[in-house]
Every structure is written in C-alpha cells, then in structure tokens.
Amino acid sequence: MTPPLLEIETLHTSFSTEAGIARAVDGVSFQLHAGETLGVVGESGCGKSVTALSILRLVRPPGRIEAGSAIRFEGTNLLALAERDMQHVRGNRIAMVFQEPMTALNPVFTVGDQIAEVARIHAGASRRSAAAKAVEMLALVGIPDPAQRATEYPHQLSGGMRQRVVIAMALVMNPALIIADEPTTALDVTIQAQILELLADLTRRLGTSVLLITHDLGVVAENCSRVIVMYAGEVVEESTTVELFAHAHHPYTEGLLGAMPRVGRGAERLATIPGTVPAPTAWPVGCRFRERCAFAWDRCAKDHPPLYQLGSGHQSRCHLAEEPNRRAHPHTPLAAASGVASA
Amino acid sequence: MTHDQPLLVVRDLTKYFPIKRGVFGNISGQVRAVDGVSFDVAAGETLALVGESGCGKSTTGRAVLRLVEPTSGSVYFEGDDLLALGAGDLRRVRRKMQIVFQDPFSSLNPRMSIGAIVREGLTIHRLAEGSAADARVRQLLEEVGLRPEYATRYPHEFSGGQRQRVGIARALSVEPRFIVCDEPVSALDVSVQAQVVNLLQDLQRDRGLAYLFIAHDLSVVEHIADRVAVMYLGHIVEHAPVDALFSTPTMPYTQALLSAVPAPDPGVKRERILLAGDVPSPANPPSGCVFHPRCQHPARDAACAAIVPPLEEKAPGHWAACIKQTPTAVSWEAQRAAGGASPPEFYIPRAALHRSLDTSHSSPASE
Amino acid sequence: MPAIGVRHRLLRDRRVWIGLGVLAFMAVAALTAPLIAPYKPDAQLDIVQLAGQAPSSAHWLGTDPFGRDVLSRMLFGSRVSLTIALAAVAMAMTFGTLVGVIAGYFGGPVDSVLMRLVDAAFSIPPLLYIIVVAALWGDVGIVALTLLIASVAWFGVSRLVRAKALTVRDADFVMAARALGMSSWRIVTRHVLPNVVGPAIVTSTLAIGNVILLEAGLSYLGIGVRPPQASWGSIIQDGAERMSDQWWLTLFPGLAILVTAFACNALGDALRDALDPRQLQPLRDDDTPLITA
C-alpha cells in the first residue's frame, strides 16, 4: 500500500492565554490518502481550524505547535522544515481555501494579478505567461468572460465569484492537497451547491486531495469519502462517511446527527446536546464529553478513553466500545441536570 | 380584535433604498430591497420568510416593525395601521412586537450586564420597578434557560447560544404577541441551534407567540414554521403551508433552493438543480419574472421576460408566482380580470385554506 | 452594580496609582508653591553672578539668564500650566464627544454639516486662529486662554467619537433598543455614550502634552501668560534659544510636561479599560454549565 499523502501524528497546538494554556489541538492523529476528500467536522472551538493552520504552520504566537507533534506530507516532516522550505510548500504543494473570500483577497489588486502572482512566486513565470495562466485558471473555475474578469477587483465580484477566484488561486500550482476551511459557510445555499460541485469536479479531474473542514454534516455527506469528528481538541470518531451516518458510535456524533435539522423530517422536535463545550484551558479529566453525555458512568470520569477500533477504518473515543450494554440505560446528562428546572 | 382577523397584515410593502452618488449625494437610482410584499401572520403561528442574502427578507422584517421606514404599503397590527402612527403611539405598539437578531455579538450592548439588558424593556414601559423588576428579570432568564445568578455578568462572558437566549429574554420582557426572528440560529453551532429552535417553539406554545421567522436555511424552517414564504429579489415568489412547500415546491426557484440543501444521507444521490450565475442586483432587477435569467423551467420563454408573474393560487392554499405553472384553482388571468392583480383582496383565504388542508397546521386564531 | 465594578477595577489597577500619584504630587506642589518654593519666582537674584547658572545645591534646577530660580518658577508655573491643560482638555473632551455623538448617531444632514465644519476648522492653523481671536478679544486672561485652547482641541475627539458612534448606531443592540420603544435620548445616553467614552478619554489624555505646548507657544507670542509670570511653556520658550549651553532651562520643564502627559495617559488607559466590561476576568470553568435547557 502506498504511504498516505498526509500523516498527522499526535499534533498538539496550544495557545497561552491569560486564563492559562489553551490546548486547542490536543493529540490529533489522522491520515489522508492521495485523491481522497477527507471531512473534518466539529463545532466552533473543537480545534478543526487550528489543525488546518498547523498543517501549513500558520499558527501565530501566542499559539505554538508542541514538540512531539509530526506532520508528514509527501514523506517529509513539515514541522522540521526551515521557514524558507515551508514557503515553497505553501501555495505550491498545499493550498488553502478560506471561509471568507472577501478577506482572502487583497482589495487593491485585480483578481488576475493575484492569481498571476502565485504563478510568478512558485513557478517563476514571466509576467506575460502568468497573466495568461490567470485567465486560464479563471476559465477553469467556470467564470464567464475570464479575460475581462481578470482585470476586475474583488469588490466588483459577487461572493460566489470571489470564492471561485480563491479556488483558482489555490489550483494554480496544481497542489497535491487543498485545505478548505469552511469554504462555503459564508455563501448562500444555491451558491454553496455550485462551489462544492466545482471543487468536487476539479479535484476529481486533477487528482487533488482535499481536507474539507466544515461544521455542516450535510456538506460532509455529499462530498467526503471519509470523515473525522472532532470535539474538545481531539478526534472522537473516524470512519467512512457511509458508516458514520448509518452507525455513528460516539454519543457526540449521535448528538450532532440528531440536532441537525433535515429537510423531509417535518415538524419533528430537534434533539439537542445539553450544556456547552468546556473551556480549552481546562479540559475535563476522563472523557471530555462526559458531562453532556446520556450514557456516562463512573469510568468516564476517571479514564480518558482511547480511540477504540470498531471495525475496519471505524474508530471511536468512547468506553461504550468496551461496554456496549451500557447504551441500553441512558440517563439525564449532568449538564442538563445541574441547572434550574425548566420553566 | 376579532378572531378571524390575523394579528399582522402586511400589504404591498416596499422599501427602496436610494443610491447616492457624488459629493452632493445625488440620487442616481434605487435598490428595490422589498418590492410589493404581502402576507398575514395569525396569532400563535409561525410564518417563515426564506431566501438568500439580498432577497429583502431582513429588510421586510425590519420594515414591518418600522425599524426601517417603509417606502410604501401598509402594515396593520391588531388593527392599528402602523405606518400612520406617531412616535408616541408607535412606542406603545412596539411593546407588542419584538425582534431577535442573528448576530449574538452585536445584538447585546457590551457595556451592560445581561440583567440590565433584560430590564430595560421593563423600565421603558414601566412594567416593573425595583425589586419587582429584579424578580422579573430572574424569572425571564430562567424562562430562556439561563441561570438567574448570571444577571450581573456581561455579554462577553457568554457563548453565542447563551447570548441568543439573552436576546430572546429581552424581547420577552415587554410581553409581546409577535416576534420577528431575524435568522436567530444562523450564527450558531448545530447542537446549540437545536437548543434555541426548541426554546423558541416552547415559548410559542406557552405564550401563544406569533413569529415571523426569517431564515436562509430551509431545513430549520421545516421544523419551526406553519407556513413558508420564499423571497427572491424583493418579491415573494412562493407562499404555502410548510408541508405543501416541501413536498410540492412549485416555483422553479423554490425547487432549486430545496435541492441545494446538502442532504445528510451519503448513500442517496439526489437530482440537484444547479442554478447558473448569481442573484442579479436589486438596483437593476430583470424584467418580467425576476428569476427568469436563472430559471431552469423547460417552458421558459420570452413571456417570462415580459410578464411580471402574479402570486396566484396554484393549489388550494399554495401560492406561487410563475406563469408556467397552471393554477388549479383560479387562473391568474381570471383573477386579473376580476381586478385582483395585486394580492390583498383575494390573498390567502384562510378559512378555505384550513378547510381543505390537514388541520395540523391551522393556527389557534382561526379556530 | 456596574459602578461598584468600575471602582473596584480602577482601584486594582497599578496605572491608576501611578497616574494619580504623579498628578497628586504635581497638584500639591502647585498648591503649596508659595510655601515650598525656595525663592520668589520672578525675583531676579543677582543678575551678574547668578544668571544662567547650572543646577547646584543652592539652585537645584539652575537659574535662567535673568538670574531667576528655575525650580521656583516651575513650581509657580505648574499652577498656570496644569489648570489650563486639564481644564481645556476636559472641556474639549466634553464638547468633542457631544458633537461626535450627535453627528454619528443622527447622521444625515446633521452629520454632514457638523463634520464639514470640523473639516474647515481643522484646516485653520490653531495658532493663527487664536492669535486673531485674541487680537479681537483684547486682554486675554487665563480663563479666556483656556477657552481658546479648548476651542481648538476638540476636533480630533469629535472625529473619533463620530466614527465610533456610527458603528454603534448600526449595531443590533441599538436596533433592539428602538424596537423596545426607547427614545433617542435614552439610546444615546444608555447605549451610544458608554461605547464611545473609552476612545474619547484616551485621545483627550494624549492631547494634554500638546495643549501645554500650545500654551507655551502662545505665551511666547505674548498671549495669555505674560512675563514675568511663569508657566512651564514660557520657561521652555525662554530657554529655547540657549538649548546648547543652558540645557536645564528646557530639560526640567520639558520633563515635567512629559511626566504629566504620561500620568494622564496612564489614567486614561486605565479608565478606558475599567469602563469596558470585556476586561473582566472570563468565567471560571467551574461556573459552567450556564445553560440548563
């Protein structure tokens, strides 16, 4: 079997804050294979975006990647590279697509110039050939009249067009990996459909791998072959997408799936996860989801659960893997019980 | 008020924003944010206003409350013509109509404790003073699921979902009958979103509140709405009971909007209608049907670019603006011949609607 | 409740103690100047022997070319300088905030008119304006001088406050306040003002140094403080031509201005932070969960 394109091993990224050290990413390991689209899903504060920034080594102080972490990409540990070599990786072998296309583009340059710049930096292209490349890329991402559009500024384009430009910039050097951090969250649903379709089509044609970071399980279901669920700085479940939606194991994943409103379910009441995500400066001992979990028992307060292997490619960080019969006895989660009675 | 009269009646509401150019602020055009919108909201029911950014749904919500001044049209609340009210009367009526905002960060004054925020409405309308007001604030916080001890804390200490609850408590403080919910859960995480949706439903059940629920997310709407109005470029293009809208979307735009919602079922490959291009500028909307340049309807033709499609009843209670969908009840030509080109006169015969449809979506007021 | 919070936070802030300490020291020195000053501020001691002497045990801060004791002149001068600076800045801050809030909150033509006026005022050199007004006014005393200085110092504050008020006006919480039926007056006082005072205080305290120097420039031109009466500015002006050989004439009053400005600035920063509840400690973890539903 070929080695994975990207292999992350016990990644720890922390931020020193006034309230203490925030362990935003706390021992994350996963692999991504060539040509694969891997989804990373979780709610705000779960560490998914910091994971993405860590891969590109774009974490700024007071954040830092702790010693002992390893990010192997195409066989090299990115964390051991000199900054100069890292710059060669960014935008060339690994490209990033951000959530907000307006802030990802520089308002004072034309979109053509910005795409051409990537080609000039990384391929040393001449001014003329870089400009031609920019027009070619705009055509590739489905922008009508690309030669004209290349001369326009970001504010002259709509949100969907801007995101296409950002994708065009990411694809200039035909990178092996694209990290897309909530690429459609800022867009309308019909535009989101366009952009996801485009991304899927282009990466299929070019053989690019995608790390798709999102909070939307629907986006994951439609675009990813495998998915990682993150909670409180950790991977809590990893599986193929089909398996995850059919047989979610971790109570958090189950909670997310239940809380998600779906078209076609009618006026059914939504399931909720009580409580809130704990603070990253003081993750709870034992299982980090314990207080919000309907199955938690005394073991969950003591032992920090490892990622249990459930079947081929399906892992879950929940003691229920060892004691499945406890699932038969749900109770009111701690977080829901400790408050006032509902009015 | 009488029982068969809706709580809120909006007729031909328009809001045009002038486009100013140059040093002297010459008006060079108009953005037609809301362009002739009509709907009713009955007591205790939820009407969802759905559409993509720039369709005018938020402006509609604010114009209904006169938080932006409508350009024309009429808004009746409990029989009062809001647009005719003076400042004093408007303030009195506003007690009955509140708003909950999308952004949990800009909707609370960072310099006030959440107790003070919730208390403001009580003070303004002299609903409670002193220790009675303190008790009421605590009660309101409990009602939205927050610990009353936290009344002395400041907004930045709370998460997005918690702040949203404070915003809801503030709206409830003046005991309104109607709340405009302007994308109240769009900025929240999935699990928190479910908590807030459920809270809004509980409050509606307990207090008989009516909601105008503004959203871009159709999946949330299906859970909370009784009826849904779909907006595109300042117009309502479809308006139907929630089941009818989701089971038989009629207007091509609604069909595309529904099909674009990502389905959380990895096995199922659905037929997706991908819309071409972007929403045109409301400063220069297309002629005829505003949706025609992007429309995928097989029968789309020159007539679509020429005729402004009226909102007509395509099936009992199910209204849509598309000349290529034959109305099953009364043809729009016949309606127009009867002088009904603008919706108000024949709009939503609620009694008929509830006779012919499953009664599960009838509103308390119509019984 | 918030008032207690603010006071509590102010008392815990080291900047407050430093700032207050320095200003209190200055104030006491100014008030007790007749008692503690070693010489009379305008006494020309011995013009031949004692003119332009470097600091010594008899004259700690040296003497000026007229044989006057610099320390004594500074002590007396601080009365004039501090009064003018603090009063002018306080007035400028109040007026600038008022104009800025009105322009920013009400917007439209009110805003256009006010801001065009501010732009126009900005384009006139303050010194020129004061000279012209003073010439028309006639005899300019300390009070008139303070008013004149205040009248040119508020533009910056009003611009800044307006910009801030514009963003606050569009915040949803102001919309919510209107939806609750709140009057404009109440919205301005409860919601807009508390959100703009922070920046107003900080820019104002930064202006204190400038105001003292403006007063100095005016003294030099014979407006306001007239020789032989001393102010920090006038002492610097007197010494400006002899910077190379009689450095103590400019250094010590310059330091006094610097320290005063620094103290005011520290106080201003602390006040801004204390008024901002976001500076409070975040929730401790044992406080969660807040939500019960």
Residues of B in contact with C292 (CB under 8 A): 145-147
**Token duo for residue A12:** 């720890």
CB contact under 8 A, A276 and C290: yes
Chain C residues with CB-CB distance to A under 8 A? 281-283, 285, 288-293
Same domain as B19, residue B164:
no
Residue B332 has pLDDT above 50, yes or no: no
Judging contacts by C-beta atoms under 8 Å, the chain A residues touching residue C281 are 19
Token couple for A334: 């701690």
Residues in chain A within 8 Å Cβ distance of C285: 278-279, 281-282
**Contact residues on chain B for A189, CB-CB shorter than 8 A:** 52, 216-218, 257, 260-261
Taking CB atoms and an 8 Å cutoff, what residues of chain C touch A342?
A: 292-293
pLDDT reported for residue C288? 33
Who has greater pLDDT, C280 or A302? A302
* Interface touch A336/C285, C-beta < 8 Å: no
One domain for residues B63 and B197: yes
B133 within a domain of the structure (yes/no): yes
Whether B37 is in a domain gets the answer yes
Q: Given this model, what pLDDT does residue A316 score?
A: 94
Residue B15, domain CATH: 3.40.50.300
Same domain, B70 and B184: yes
Say whether both B182 and B43 belong to one domain.
Answer: yes
**Domain C-terminal end among B215, B247, B279:** B247
CB contact under 8 A, B275 and A194: yes
- pLDDT (tens digit, 9 = 90+) per residue, B293-310? 988 888 888 888 888 888
Confirm if B145 and B165 have CB atoms less than 8 A apart.
yes
pLDDT(B330) > 60: no
pLDDT-based confidence at residue A91 (cuts at 50, 70, 90): confident
| H/E element, A298 | helix A298-302
The kind and range of the H/E element at B73 are: strand B72-77
Which chain C residues are Cβ-neighbours of A293 within 8 angstroms?
Answer: none
C-alpha angle A306/A311/A314, rounded to 5°? Answer: 60
Q: For residue B11, is it within any domain?
A: yes
Determine contact, residues A132/A110, Cβ cutoff 8 Å.
no
- Cis status of the peptide bond prior to C109, with omega within 30 of 0: no
pLDDT of residue C291: 37
Record: contact C177-B120, CB cut-off 8 A: yes
- The answer to whether residues B91 and B195 belong to one domain is yes
Contact (CB<8Å) B146/C292: yes
Kindly state whether residue B279 falls inside one of the protein's structural domains: no
Chain A residue numbers with beta carbons less than 8 Å from the beta carbon of B279 are: 158, 188
Indicate yes or no: CB of B246 within 8 angstroms of CB of A263: yes
CA distance C180 to chain B (A): 6
B202 and B336 co-located in one domain: no
Chain C touching partners, 3 or more CB pairs below 8 A: A, B
ipTM: 0.79
Last residue of a domain, which of B146, B174, B202?
B174
Q: Which neighbouring-strand residues pair with B312?
A: B320
Same domain, residue pair B43 and B167: no
Say how many Å lie between the first and final Cα of chain A, rounded: 59
Å from A263 to nearest chain B CA?
A: 5
Question: Consecutive 10-residue runs of chain C (293 residues): their mean pLDDT?
Answer: 61 86 91 84 70 78 81 88 90 93 88 90 86 82 87 89 89 87 87 88 82 79 75 81 82 87 85 72 35 35
CA dihedral (A141, A143, A144, A150) in degrees, to 10, reads -120
Query: With 60 as the cut, is the pLDDT of residue B360 above it?
Result: no
- On whether any CB of chain A is under 8 Å from the CB of B279, the answer is yes
Name the band, by pLDDT with cuts 50, 70 and 90, for residue B345.
Answer: very low
pLDDT score of C46: 66
Average pLDDT over chain B, rounded to an integer = 83
Q: Does A21 touch chain C (CB under 8 A)?
A: no
Which chains does A contact via 3+ CB–CB distances below 8 A? B, C
Mention every residue, 6+ apart, whose C-beta is less than 8 A from residue B14. Answer: B32, B34, B35, B36, B37, B70, B71, B72, B73, B234
Residue B281 lies in a domain: no
In the stretch 298-357 of chain B, residues with CB closer than 8 A to chain A read: none
Cβ separation C290–B147 shorter than 8 A: yes
B 77-116: CB under 8 A from A: none
pLDDT for B354: 35
pLDDT interval class at B63 (50, 70, 90): very high
- The listed range with the strongest mean pLDDT (A328-342, B259-273, C62-76) is C62-76
Tens of pLDDT, residue by residue over B147-160, are: 888 898 888 888 88
Q: How many CB pairs under 8 A join A and C?
A: 34
Same domain, B316 and B207: no
* Same structural domain, B2 and B92: yes
Chain A residues with beta carbon closer than 8 angstroms to that of C283? 279
What are the chain B neighbours of A217 within 8 Å (beta carbons)? 190, 264
User: Are B327 and B202 part of one and the same domain?
Assistant: no
A160/B206: higher pLDDT: B206
A335 part of contact set with chain C, CB < 8 Å: yes
pLDDT for B2 equals: 44
Count the domains in chain B.
3
- Please compute the mean of the pLDDT values over residues A21-47 and round it to a whole number: 90
In this complex, do C179 and B99 lie within 8 Å of one another by their Cβ atoms? yes
C-alpha C40/C-alpha C55 separation (Å) is 17
Say whether pLDDT at B146 is over 80.
yes
Residues B5 and B86 in one domain: yes
- Which residues of chain B are within 8 Å of residue A262 when distances are taken between CB atoms? 219, 263-264
B316 plus B194 within the same structural domain: no
A235: which strand partners? A230
- Selection from B346, B298, B351, B350 nearest residue B324 by Cα: B298
Residue B278, in any domain of the structure:
no
User: DSSP string of A81-119?
Assistant: S-HHHHHHHBTTTEEEE-S-HHHHS-TTS-HHHHHHHHH
pTM of the predicted model as reported, rounded to 2 decimal places? 0.81
E strand segments, chain A: 6-17, 20-32, 37-41, 63-65, 70-73, 76-77, 94-97, 177-181, 209-214, 226-231, 234-240, 308-311, 314-316
pLDDT in tens, B66-92: 999 999 999 999 988 999 988 888 888
- What confidence tens digit (pLDDT) does each residue in C89-130 have? 999 999 999 999 999 998 888 888 999 999 888 888 888 888
The pLDDT value given to residue A8:
92
Please give the pLDDT value at position B211: 96
Confidence check: pLDDT of B338 > 60? no
Taking contacts as CB-CB distances below 8 angstroms, the residues of chain A near B53 are 159, 188
**Residue A42 backbone dihedrals phi, psi, to 5 degrees:** 170, 170
Q: Would you call C176 and B145 a contact, using CB atoms and an 8 Å cutoff? A: no
CA pair distance A282, B187, nearest whole angstrom: 25
Query: Is B16 within the bounds of a domain?
Result: yes
Cβ atoms of residues B161 and B196 within 8 Å:
yes
Is the CB of A259 less than 8 angstroms away from the CB of B139?
no
The pLDDT assigned to B268 comes to 67
Q: What is the pLDDT of residues B6-35, one digit of tens each?
A: 899 999 999 998 887 666 667 778 888 999
Query: Has residue B101 been placed in a domain?
Result: no
Which residues lie closer than 8 Å to B321 by C-beta, 6 or more apart? B235, B236, B237, B238, B251, B289, B309, B310, B311, B312
Last residue of a domain, one of B156, B174, B192: B174
Q: Cβ contacts (< 8 Å) between C284 and chain B: which residues?
A: none
* CB-based contact A276 C289, cutoff 8 Å: yes
Do A339 and C292 count as a contact with CB atoms less than 8 A apart?
A: yes
Chain A contact for B263, CB < 8 A? Answer: yes
Q: Determine contact, residues C73/C227, Cβ cutoff 8 Å.
A: no
Span B163-176, average pLDDT: 93
Backbone angles phi, psi at B321, to 5 degrees: -110, 90
Domains of chain C in start order, with CATH, are: 3-279 (1.10.3720.10)
pLDDT at position A337, please? 61
The reply to whether residue C288 touches residue A19, judged by beta carbons under 8 angstroms, is no
Summarize pLDDT for A213-244 with one digit per residue, the tens: 998 888 898 889 999 999 999 999 999 999 99
Instruction: Indicate the residue of A274, A275, A282 with minimum beta-carbon distance to C285.
Output: A282
Residue C178 has its nearest CB partner, among B67, B103, B161, at B67
Range of the domain at B204: 1-96+176-247
- Give me the residue from C176, C180, C278 closest to B110, CB to CB: C278
Q: In which band, very low, low, confident or very high, does the pLDDT at B351 lie, cut at 50, 70 and 90? A: very low
